[in-house]
Structure 1
Amino acid sequence: MGRFVLTYFKRLVVCFLIVILIYLLTTLTPRDKEKFEISVRKNRGEEKKYYVKSGKCEMPYVDPFNDEFTRINHPKIFIPCTNESDLITVHYDNIFNQYVLHINEEVLHKLTESKSNNFSCFYQKIIYGQSPDYYDKIGEKTKLTQDYLVPLNVEGMLVDCRTADEKRILQKDAFVFIQYQKSPQNLNVKDRKASVIMYGIDTVSRTNIRRMMPMVYEFLKSPGWYEMMGYNKVADNSFPNIFAMLTGLSPESAEEQVCNTDIDGCLDKIPFIWKEFKNEGYLTAYAEDEEISNTFNYMKPGFGVRPTDYYFRPFLTALENETVIQYNTGSLMKYCLGRRLANSYIFDYCRQFMQRFVADRPIWGMFWSNHFSHDDFFMLSAMQHKILNDLLNFEKDGAFEHTIMIFFSDHGARFGPLMYMKESFLEERLPMMFIYLPPWFREKYPQYVQALSQNQHRLSSNFDVYNTLKHILNIEEVLEDTQWAYDCPDCQSLFYPLPENRSCSDAGISEPYCTCHNYKEIKAEPWTWRLADLVVDRINKYLKLNNIQDLCSDLTLKVVNSTEQWMEEIDGDVDRPKGMRYYHTKFQVHQNMAEYFATVLYNRDTEELKVNVELISRINMYGTDSECVNNKIHKLYCVCLSKLRTLEK
């Protein structure tokens, strides 16, 4: 009897614990769930977890909430640009196919502190001239009346509302519009191809989306979404990574095959993918939210011809020059343009583009935001509700019924606190990449869905994304003369199964950016200092080679922070001379405490060194250190003599 009672009691305790466990698993936050799962795996003694694991690529999974990150985590709180309600709101009239401006009398009375309607509102059209990258002027004042129909030739406007005597400003605002245009008569809607929207956020790694935006990450696990967990960047910063995705070319190959992207007029000649979509009957759009750091204008000449049907930049330049600007705290990025987040204009532009056209004709658009994420990755936490709401609004509009959406980034954090973590190498090189396929596409092309699902845990790159965009254009039958990514002959569409045993070279990823290989930190020895010193010497020779040694200081090694060695046997590596091995070296120089990370081939016995200086990363912000040079690559290695601070011993 006693044994029976004891057995019954044990079973009761086990059942109780199971109930508690189920309750915890259903109520834990995404962050707590992930920590719990990792803890369970550790207790079970399970093997290390990988995003990709094959004979040629072992891309390790990173615990987003490890102790290192917990110690530096400083999540931010969202701060609105204004606490005032909108005096003027916009809605779209589907009968007239025009935007309508509505004056909210309740808000008016609150602002005027009276029940009278003694006020006046005017708008000024934003006019762009010969250059597509800049606005030309602000037009004459036009009076606004209640429920004003916006003329079809007005794509952007500044609004000013005042008391009747014009002595007091009630509210200023700005609006940008995607104006309607009729579909071509010969457009076959029934057999049309999928629309494509690329919604990007600068500097968001695969790990950081999990830790900083867990609610967004949970949304991206919904049916129809596929995360490319083996996605690896191919270059250092935004321009070459986005350029590869949109052209299939590196900037260096573009210079050989087409023109130098640093020269005026070149970008107009580049075969961007949006030109091919345009030729196939798609309406096209492009928008970014930072004028100075714009992908095609930061240290680049920009466009001489309007690149897409709808192009946001001239309105952005007007907003940045004509509205009150609020900056991100401790950042050079503009947070608010007038009453709205800079990012809000990008989202509104994207949403209008889809609302106007996606149900009626194929569209392609890229909408890129960097103002809140580039300089401070903690700001992602403040913006997660904003970005989640964007995605939910797209869903509410029905846009996901028609659209292939690519929700992505260009790279992870390249400087700041995350660069001092053990996983910094992975953080920088593994940007987020999510692809959504609409229900009709999943039903019509099950073979492509199966391939994309399978490819989630296989190594992929920017060039594969380019090939996927090309594939969408020829979804029924790939043409024999299709020009795939020039800089990666072995790359392919993500709608085809990628080789399981794929190497970085197969995916167009050079060793300095490859996350597939097992590097281990090694003990500091005299030769590790010598290795870093030789790399510093190569940087100095690079400055001389580019004739900027009179502007930039020679660099001298201050400290070697870490050295890592590729541990696997690599005798089969045809690019590795005999006796040389791959190393990572992270070091700091005396000059303005600049910090660098380099991947090199090195022979410890002969001190032979092979390194491409232009692939060495600067891992702390250079700020104004390099303002004496204009080339964006030179800026990484130049500490201007005019900006040189007292050297620390």
Structure 2
Amino acid sequence: MYLISTVARSRYKWLVICFLVMFIVVYVPLQNDSLYPKEKHLKKASVPRPQVNATVAEHATIGEDLVNTDDGDIDDKEPLPTPQLYYVQESQCKIPYIDPFAAEVMKNFNPDTFETCTNQSDLVRPIFDMNRKKYVLQIDESVATQILQSSDIEYNCYYQEITRNADADSYNDLLPQIYFSQGYVVPLHVQALILACHEAANTSHILQKDAYALIQYKPLAPNLEPKPPTTPRKPSVFMFGIDSLSRINLRRTMPKVYKFLTRRGWYEMQGYNKVADNTFPNLLAVLSGYSPDTAKAKVCDTDNRGCFDRMPFIWKYFKSAGYLTAYGEDECGMNTFNYMKPGFIAMPTDYYHRPFLKGFTGEMETWKCANCTLTYCVGRRIQSSYVYDFGKEFAKRYVDERPIWGLFWSSSFSHDDYAMPAKMQNYVLQYLLDLQQDGIFEQSIVIFLSDHGARYGRLSFYSSGFLEERLPAMFIYLPPWFRAQYPQFAKALEINRHRLSSNFDLHNTLKHIIELGQPANAPPLPKANDCPTCQSLFHPVSRERGCHEAGISEHYCTCQPYKRISFDWSDRISQGVIDRINDYLYARNYSEICANLTLSYIHKTEIKLGLDISFHDDIPKLDVGYYRVKFKVQQNSADFMATVVYNNVTNHVDVDVETISRTNSYEEDSTCISHKLAKLYCICQSLLRT
């Protein structure tokens, strides 16, 4: 009996093992396919390198260049999410978690494949000679032979220097052509150039034309010679920004980039909440600690020429602390300090990219991809690559020699289409891998950030739209030596991952970094002016913090849940908001050129619930409460969203009109006025569509 029982148990154990193996082999892959319905589609996208103009053969093997790291491979599989109900769950702030892959979003999510601007290799390229600390122009004769289909035809190459026009914060007319031969050393005063080669006997036959911004070497000033070992080490700061990218949409459209940004040393600020509507006030808060209104009252009016030169921008503090500074943006038509703004008179930073890209876009051919609303290619390269290459060259040139600070910002592929980042995810990832390869992450604090999420378009109509708009991506990387030297700062960032934070906190954090390298008796730097209760993120944020303490107004606050209502009286709120908008336009003498707005229909009305009220409980009856309304007006089908205080007894609507969001594009509706805020609410009578 014992023998029979043992054999039976043995067979039973064998059957169980076989069943488990079959379950793992067959069932688990099927489950993974159902969890990631878009994964196969994403894998079809070509995997580009940001080194521009790679050949078709080079692109065919690019996938192998997504290198392995100590933290694992970078691939496009989103790891199985751990159950999460909130990004922040504290007594004064509960920001609900949003599933990036919710069915309502994914059913309309159709990412494009990456497109190159050319498959032709570079004919001429500036190469930095590390020994001479100068650029040398290198001509690839094999490319010329390929283009001319002959090695016997002679050709000549020249460059034209691009110089800055301070009066317009742009560029001057191109300087005369200077012809050069192989190995020509570029003079140090040349900061940017357009290169071209043409057939010797036919100057109109251009073989190739290209453009480059150069990081010409600046020797260390005598007072900035290397400090003795006892001096605190100063970390460099590299800020990599992508416009209109929520932390939710980053996970959805760029899962490979997200995986890179969540490896060891990175800290995702999941409660990072924007403080204003669009790019300018949100970046102004990060870079100066001011809102536009307070800056106007205490410093200068940012609409006036010369104001930005007087503003206490963060790069001035880094410069005073011995840092070399750089700043660049793509899409010159919407640059943060130039769109409806006067720009800079003096160069704001040691290296400033805007005049060069203005020159490139003005002198080179440009192209938009099929689904692009903004310029995709400038000359032979993707528009954003000029800024990213500028940043990469800047970091590569100096990061091992001296502390640097730089902000490199892109709007061109993310501003107008929430799905476009998916087209660019491998492109962005390769830049991050290149920075890693160049040793930037060994020396620098790296901040990957955005200003806000999608403010209009399809995402704004989903149930998650309010949070998508208000929770921009924010990731902070601390290099290993910094984590070892300041373990308390790493611990604070880990704690603050799930605490409420804002642009003003980031400003204070940048000031904190500067102070780390200062003498012990140096006076503390001024903190963010518009948020006295804000702090450095290198210290734990209070668990009792609410939006007011973080400098976030009610309209942008994501801390307290709102619930949709459909009572008869709730329709009166939207009409009250429209009345306030019309009053606003009238008070500014725009009513004769801007149409009087009238209600078309209401998308939704939501009531704010207290933190002690469950989202699933019955809606309490309130005489006075906070409401969010989203509605459409008849004039050009313009959509708006507002946060208001409404008195259900007196029917009074209290709203700050300048906090009302326009949730669809207004570019073609408001060209009759120039006031930046009023443009949001003005539908020009001359542009009314029937």
TM-score, normalised relative to structure 2: 0.88
2:396 and 2:440 in contact (8 A); partners too:
yes
Amino acid at match of 2:582: N
Residue of structure 2 in register with 1:9 after alignment: 15
Quick one: which of 86, 111, 119 aligns to 1:50?
86
Residue of structure 1 in register with 2:156 after alignment: 120
Residue of structure 1 in register with 2:675 after alignment: 631
1:426-441 map, 5 Å: 426-441=467-482
Relative to structure 1, the CA distance from residue 135 to residue 65 in structure 2 (aligned partners, 3 Å threshold; closer, same or farther) is: same
Q: Which moved more, 1:126-135 or 1:290-299?
A: 126-135
Relative to structure 1, the CA distance from residue 117 to residue 227 in structure 2 (aligned partners, 3 Å threshold; closer, same or farther) is: farther
Amino acid at match of 1:90: P
Amino acid at match of 2:650: T
Q: Which runs of 5+ in 2 are unaligned?
A: 40-75, 614-621
What displacement does 1:310 show? 0.7
1:212-611 map, 5 Å: 212-329=253-370, 331-475=372-516, 481-522=524-565, 524-568=566-610, 579-611=623-655
Quick one: which of 201, 205, 208 aligns to 1:168?
205
**CA distances 1:551-584 after superposition (whole Å, capped 9, x unpaired):** 100100010111111122689xxxxxx9411111
1:183 and 1:360 in contact (8 A); partners too:
no
> How far apart, CA to CA, are the structure 1 residues paired with 2:126 and 2:278?
37
> How far apart, CA to CA, are the structure 2 residues paired with 1:118 and 1:626?
54
1:31 and 1:65 in contact (8 A); partners too:
no
> How far apart, CA to CA, are the structure 1 residues paired with 2:242 and 2:480?
25
> How far apart, CA to CA, are the structure 1 residues paired with 2:516 and 2:293?
30
Name the SS for the 2:600 alignment partner: strand
- Residues 1:62 and 2:104 aligned together: no
> How far apart, CA to CA, are the structure 1 residues paired with 2:103 and 2:80?
16
What displacement does 1:186 show? 2.9
**CA distances 1:575-630 after superposition (whole Å, capped 9, x unpaired):** xxx94111111100000000011111112122122111111111111121001111
1:163 and 1:169 in contact (8 A); partners too:
yes
> How far apart, CA to CA, are the structure 1 residues paired with 2:688 and 2:97?
40
What displacement does 1:427 show? 0.4
> How far apart, CA to CA, are the structure 2 residues paired with 1:22 and 1:598?
46
What displacement does 1:384 show? 0.7
Amino acid at match of 2:133: N
What displacement does 1:300 show? 0.6
What displacement does 1:305 show? 1.4
Q: Which moved more, 1:490-499 or 1:138-147?
A: 138-147
**CA distances 1:419-453 after superposition (whole Å, capped 9, x unpaired):** 11000000000000011111111111111111111
Residue of structure 2 in register with 1:137 after alignment: 173
Aligned length: 632
1:195-210 map, 5 Å: 195-210=236-251
What displacement does 1:550 show? 1.1
**CA distances 1:318-375 after superposition (whole Å, capped 9, x unpaired):** 1111110112445542211111111111011101111111111111111111011111
Residue of structure 2 in register with 1:574 after alignment: none
2:101 and 2:252 in contact (8 A); partners too:
yes
> How far apart, CA to CA, are the structure 2 residues paired with 1:234 and 1:569?
21
Q: Which moved more, 1:526-535 or 1:130-139?
A: 130-139
What displacement does 1:20 show? 6.1
Percentage identity across aligned positions? 47
Residue of structure 1 in register with 2:686 after alignment: 642
**CA distances 1:174-217 after superposition (whole Å, capped 9, x unpaired):** 11101001112332344341111111010100011101011111
RMSD over aligned CA atoms reads 2.2
TM-score, normalised relative to structure 1: 0.93
Q: Which moved more, 1:348-357 or 1:115-124?
A: 115-124
Residue of structure 1 in register with 2:130 after alignment: 94
1:591 and 1:639 in contact (8 A); partners too:
yes
> How far apart, CA to CA, are the structure 2 residues paired with 1:129 and 1:117?
39
Relative to structure 1, the CA distance from residue 282 to residue 480 in structure 2 (aligned partners, 3 Å threshold; closer, same or farther) is: closer
Name the SS for the 2:489 alignment partner: helix
> How far apart, CA to CA, are the structure 1 residues paired with 2:525 and 2:158?
52
2:515 and 2:524 in contact (8 A); partners too:
no
Amino acid at match of 2:535: Q
2:623 and 2:647 in contact (8 A); partners too:
yes
Name the SS for the 2:334 alignment partner: coil
Residue of structure 2 in register with 1:104 after alignment: 140
> How far apart, CA to CA, are the structure 2 residues paired with 1:485 and 1:70?
39
Relative to structure 1, the CA distance from residue 15 to residue 274 in structure 2 (aligned partners, 3 Å threshold; closer, same or farther) is: same
Name the SS for the 1:474 alignment partner: helix
What displacement does 1:31 show? 7.0
1:328 and 1:335 in contact (8 A); partners too:
yes
Relative to structure 1, the CA distance from residue 222 to residue 90 in structure 2 (aligned partners, 3 Å threshold; closer, same or farther) is: farther
Q: Which runs of 5+ in 1 are unaligned?
A: 42-47, 572-577
Name the SS for the 2:120 alignment partner: coil
2:153 and 2:199 in contact (8 A); partners too:
no
Amino acid at match of 2:607: Q
Amino acid at match of 2:687: K
Q: Which moved more, 1:611-620 or 1:166-175?
A: 166-175
Amino acid at match of 1:14: L
**CA distances 1:478-516 after superposition (whole Å, capped 9, x unpaired):** 965431111111110010011122101110011110111
> How far apart, CA to CA, are the structure 1 residues paired with 2:489 and 2:170?
41
> How far apart, CA to CA, are the structure 1 residues paired with 2:311 and 2:88?
34
1:128 and 1:137 in contact (8 A); partners too:
no
1:599 and 1:616 in contact (8 A); partners too:
yes
What displacement does 1:7 show? 5.8
Name the SS for the 2:167 alignment partner: coil
